[in-house]
């Protein structure tokens, strides 16, 4: 998929939700009718941002944005008459995390998302995302096995200090740009993001994978 094609898909998703009347948005189907549950793993370079996004999806505070545990946390909620399972991970991108500890966290995450995650939501703070972070993210996803980038969506957090043109600037950030390409140009901006748009994109990834979870 080309960058232009990826951008078109994102714009199309936004246009779709804009065409849905406000009073109907609460009942639109973001998952195929035969699916009752969506399992999403939150990864990224900021615990507070991952937790904030998880709470945004659930519509309530389930993850603390202050205290980062040294284990994976699973929360189950209900959206649009569907079950959603969020697995929030500790800092798996830490430079000093031992390989055996990383594998243990991944194994725990796999267990919590049994029989496998449908989507990896990569929550990234662009001003803090380095080439080293990108390599570590690839290492983490590789530990899950299968084809994890086929199931990945990047959510770019709003920078702590906004400046004119920051969206284009960060989209051209080399490490972030590489990860966007590997994720088949699936990305969204957190700024002004509506829940319906995020759910639509998660549902599109599920449909692109024929409703199948990652084969671990």
The model's pLDDT over 72-83, given as tens digits with 9 standing for 90+, comes to 999 999 987 889
Residue range 42-49: mean pLDDT, rounded: 93
- Is-contact 39 117, C-beta < 8 A? yes
Band (2; pLDDT cuts 50, 70, 90) = very low
Residue 191 sits at φ, ψ, to 5 deg, of -60, 125
- What pLDDT is attached to residue 165? 67
The one-character DSSP state at 95 is T
- Is-contact 190 155, C-beta < 8 A? yes
DSSP 16-75: HHHHS-GGGGGG---S-TT--EEEEEEEES-HHHHHHHHHHHHTS--S-SS---SS-EEE
Distance between CA atoms of 126 and 56, rounded to whole angstroms?
20
Band (17; pLDDT cuts 50, 70, 90) = very low
Distance between CA atoms of 109 and 120, rounded to whole angstroms?
11
Distance between CA atoms of 4 and 101, rounded to whole angstroms?
39
Domains with residue ranges and CATH for the chain: 35-206 (3.40.50.300)
Band (161; pLDDT cuts 50, 70, 90) = low
Residue range 164-170: mean pLDDT, rounded: 70
- Is-contact 157 122, C-beta < 8 A? no
- What pLDDT is attached to residue 158? 77
- Is-contact 123 49, C-beta < 8 A? yes
Q: State the chain's mean pLDDT as an integer.
A: 84
Residue 44 sits at φ, ψ, to 5 deg, of 160, -175
Residue range 5-28: mean pLDDT, rounded: 40
Band (149; pLDDT cuts 50, 70, 90) = very high
Residue range 140-154: mean pLDDT, rounded: 95
- What pLDDT is attached to residue 37? 93
CA dihedral 7, 13, 19, 21 (to 10 degrees): -150
Residue 178 C-beta-side C-alpha neighbours within 13 Å: 11
Helix (H, G, I), strand (E, B) or coil at 164: coil
63 vs 22, which has greater pLDDT?
Answer: 63
Q: Token pair 């996004």 is at which residue?
A: 53
On the question of pLDDT at 19 being above 60, the answer is: no
- Is-contact 173 129, C-beta < 8 A? yes
pTM score of the predicted model: 0.83
Distance between CA atoms of 16 and 39, rounded to whole angstroms?
23
175 vs 163, which has greater pLDDT?
Answer: 175
On the question of pLDDT at 5 being above 50, the answer is: no
pLDDT tens digits along 103-125: 999 999 999 999 999 999 999 98
Which of 13-22, 104-113, 117-126, 178-187 is predicted with the least confidence, judged by mean pLDDT? 13-22
């Amino acid at each position: 998929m080309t960058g232009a094609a990826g951008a078109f898909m994102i714009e199309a998703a936004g246009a779709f939700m804009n065409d849905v009347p406000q009073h109907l948005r609460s009942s639109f189907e973001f998952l195929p009718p035969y699916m009752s549950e969506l399992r999403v793993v939150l990864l990224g370079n900021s615990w507070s941002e991952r937790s904030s996004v998880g709470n945004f999806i659930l519509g309530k505070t389930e993850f603390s944005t202050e205290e980062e545990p040294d284990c994976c946390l699973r929360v189950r909620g209900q959206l649009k008459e569907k079950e959603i399972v969020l697995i929030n991970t500790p800092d798996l991108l830490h430079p000093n995390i031992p390989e055996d500890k990383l594998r243990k966290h991944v194994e725990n995450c796999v267990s919590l998302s049994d029989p496998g995650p449908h989507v990896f939501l990569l929550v990234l703070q662009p001003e803090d995302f380095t080439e080293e972070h990108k390599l570590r993210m690839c290492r983490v996803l590789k530990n899950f096995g299968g084809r994890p980038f086929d199931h990945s969506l990047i959510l770019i957090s709003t920078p702590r200090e906004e400046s004119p043109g920051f969206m284009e600037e960060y989209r051209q950030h080399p490490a972030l740009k590489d990860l966007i390409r590997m994720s088949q140009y699936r990305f969204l901006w957190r700024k002004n993001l509506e829940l319906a748009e995020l759910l639509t994109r998660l549902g599109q990834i599920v449909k692109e994978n024929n409703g199948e979870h990652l084969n671990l």
